[in-house]
Chains A and B, each alone.
Chain A
Amino acid sequence: MYVAVKGGEAAIANAHALLADRRRGDRTVPALRLDQIVEQLGLAVDRTMGEGSLYDKELAALALLQARGDLIEAIFLVRAYRTTLPRFGYSSPVDTGAMLIERRISATFKDLPGGQMLGPTFDYTHRLLDPGIVTGDVAAPLLREADAEPAPRVTDLLGRQGLMEPDGETDPEREVGDLTREPLDFPLDRDLRLQALARGDEGFLLALGYSTQRGYGRSHPFVGEIRIGEVEVEFDVPELGFAVSLGRIRVTECQMVNQFKGSAKVPPQFTRGYGLVFGQAERKAMAMSLVDRALRAREFGEDIVAPAQDEEFVISHSDNVQATGFVEHLKLPHYVDFQAELDLIRRMRAEHEASEMKEAAE
């Protein structure tokens, strides 16, 4: 008798016990602590926070451990927790211009107010496997006093000369869009689109951003600026009548500067692609800003010819928790529907055979 997918309860419990065993692995090897994951696998923690859209390093580390290092599974765990949290309100917009900067680079200007700072980057490392890091002995980095000189955003510098499109004004009374509270309704406003991209899968956005560079929706991008550091999160408390600080979070911001030839209404000027992600996530922020710019095609009256410019296509498929769920649901039993198809195929084959026999006889 066929029992492979049936008779579930005991099988499920046993499978999960085995999963717990495999997760722990060899018991003679010390178990990982959450602080070790937070400190030493920080970029995995950052990605889990970003795409999980919940800024909590310890929970992200727990999710990573529980997911055996599977990032999408960890992101899923964080999301399923986040969704149960009560919503008090929305923070004031963070001011990335006032960021405590650890890394800041611009590809458009050799030097600029506030200077360029490489920060903790893989750039210019030689990708040679280094057994030396296993011992864990690392010299303390050289630190210097922070510059008193402010580091205004490159887009603001360009904006002052009118070369950059303005950032756009929104009605201060308008409530910010939130796709976790309201169903998506295409076409989207840019705030919702940016939220979807910030939560979107890094690999998917990377590939789409890459496709725009290879001619599928070309946007002539320059990295105006990438900055990584801490920003203050403030929350307006209606009872107090002013904003209070909730603390600092680390974010990565990328502003792409793109050519725009202008139109009948608008003079030639540079346009923006924007990326903002929790933690240190430079690749994601860059990909996001490329895709953001590509998705603004409609706004600028550009021809929509490439996948990266197609809002419904991009946003409907960028969420890896949705994507992995639906792809993996194919392993659930489908034998009722398959039976229906089997029946149809058999009938059609029988008819086909009968007509061939008839033809042969004639």
Chain B
Amino acid sequence: MTTLPQYNFAYLDEQTKRMIRRAILKAIAIPGYQVPFSSREMPMPYGWGTGGVQVTASIIGPDDVLKVIDQGADDTTNAVSIRAFFAKVAQVETTTHTSDATIIQTRHRIPEKALSKGQVLVYQVPIPEPLRFLEPRETETRKMHALEEYGLMHVKLYEDIARHGRIATTYAYPVKVEGRYVMDPSPTPKFDNPKMHMSEALQLFGAGREHRIYAVPPHTEVVSLDFEDHPFAIQHFEQPCALCGAEQVYLDEVILDDRGGHMYVCSDTDHCEERRAAGHVGDLGVKEAAE
């Protein structure tokens, strides 16, 4: 039988990590610019976070504390799987607490709690090109970025308004970074866009299948595209979280029965748990046992 070698710390070999780190450095130097990198096959499928996993694998060290969320939650199956992967191949400490983590890998959400200096937020990105659905060809979209030719995107947003009376993009809402590159924030709801602006944390974006890495360094301007008469606005929920009573947070709708009964709960499970532990109770919540 062929003998299998041991895997390196954090799975990737050091040469590959160096190559990815170079791409990350370039991405940080040109905020919002998509840097091509030689993406590797990972032991999880493309489209399931291979870009984010490669970025995390390249920057993680033995002293890092890792948090992984999917849809804002730590206990979603794919988040569990990725966390278990790094616990196995890098033996790093993992956490569900946003403030304890040095690296947070995410799919589709930015934690509610503001991130701080020294933290890195790693996004899993399916389609890094914000212009892709307007122009399928990479050769064309590259030119459009180079020439800062973003008229097509504004026309799309304008057509939305003409047709629906509003901009009908609710997630993956395009942003302009540091006044230059239009960037896809990954399919986070537009609710999270303002959190990217002037963040203290480093934000890295990895798209494995599409071979792209991009970045928003700390204290960088991130502006959601809009028009003067149709300014950008985030989603607003009519009611607070049913478990912890939080307002101004993103909520998941949970269907309770087949008669239209539903409740809204925090999408960010860590945020919700922390609030409940601190004694906040929503309409359907249970008061935490006094300690």
Using a CB–CB distance below 8 Å, which chain A residues touch chain B? Answer: 1-2, 5-9, 11-12, 34, 56, 58-59, 76, 79-84, 86, 180-187, 312, 316, 321-322, 324-329, 332-337, 339-344, 348, 351
Contact = CB atoms under 8 A, between A and B. Distances in A.
20 contacts: A5-B77, A6-B75, A12-B80, A58-B1, A59-B2, A76-B41, A80-B43, A184-B36, A312-B136, A316-B138, A325-B46, A327-B47, A329-B45, A329-B47, A336-B109, A337-B171, A337-B172, A339-B189, A339-B250, A348-B168
A183 B41 contact: no
Dominant SS among interface residues on chain B: loop
Nearest to B254: A2
B2 A56 contact: yes
A184 B211 contact: yes
B98 interface: no
Contacts of B251: 339
Given A82-B41, A183-B38, A326-B209, A333 B70 contact: yes
Given A7-B75, A8-B77, A328 B45 contact: yes
B133 interface: no
Contacts of B7: 84
A301 to B, nearest CB: 18
Interface residues of B, number: 66
Contact of B73 (A6, A80, A329): A6
Given A336-B252, A337-B187, A83 B235 contact: no
Per CB-CB distance, the 5 closest pairs between chain A and chain B, nearest first, are A325-B46, A329-B47, A325-B45, A340-B170, A8-B80
Contacts of B8: 84
A92 to B, nearest CB: 23
A187 B137 CA distance: 11
A339 B253 contact: yes
Interface string B179-220: 000000001111100000000000000000101100000000
A56 B50 CA distance: 25
Contacts of B50: 325
B71 A183 contact: no
Contacts of A12: 77, 80-81, 84
Contacts of B41: 76, 79-80, 82-83, 321
Q: Which of B37, B71, B107, B108 has the most CB of A within 10 A?
A: B71
A336 B43 CA distance: 26
Nearest to A11: B77
A183 B39 contact: yes
Q: Which of B1, B4, B80, B267 has the most CB of A within 10 A?
A: B80
A184 B138 CA distance: 11
Contacts of B9: none
A312 B189 contact: no
Interface string B99-118: 00000000111000000000
B95 interface: no
A183 B253 contact: no
Contacts of B109: 336
Contacts of A56: 2
Nearest to B262: A2
B126 interface: yes
A181 B41 CA distance: 11
Given A186-B138, A334-B108, A8 B81 contact: yes
Contact of A328 (B47, B211, B252): B47
B29 interface: no
A329 B139 contact: no
B26 to A, nearest CB: 12
B48 interface: yes
Nearest to B269: A6
A5 B74 CA distance: 12
A34 B108 CA distance: 42
B47 A326 contact: yes
Nearest to A87: B15
B137 A337 contact: no
A1 B187 CA distance: 26
Q: Which of A2, A8, A56, A322 has the most CB of B within 10 A?
A: A8
A322 B209 contact: yes
A276 B19 CA distance: 30
Nearest to A10: B80
B70 A332 contact: yes
A329 B76 CA distance: 14
B71 A312 contact: no
Contacts of B107: 332
A273 to B, nearest CB: 23
Nearest to A343: B235
Given A82-B41, A322-B46, A336-B250, A348 B164 contact: yes
Nearest to A34: B1
A348 B78 CA distance: 33
Nearest to A326: B47
A155 B109 CA distance: 57
A335 B71 contact: yes
B155 to A, nearest CB: 20
B11 interface: yes
A329 B126 contact: yes
Contacts of B47: 325-329
A58 B171 contact: no
Given A336-B71, A336-B72, A337-B187, A351 B170 contact: no
B2 A58 contact: yes
Contacts of B108: 334, 336-337
Nearest to B192: A336
Given A337-B187, A340-B191, A326 B170 contact: no
B287 interface: no
A335 B126 CA distance: 16
A179 to B, nearest CB: 8
A326 B128 CA distance: 14
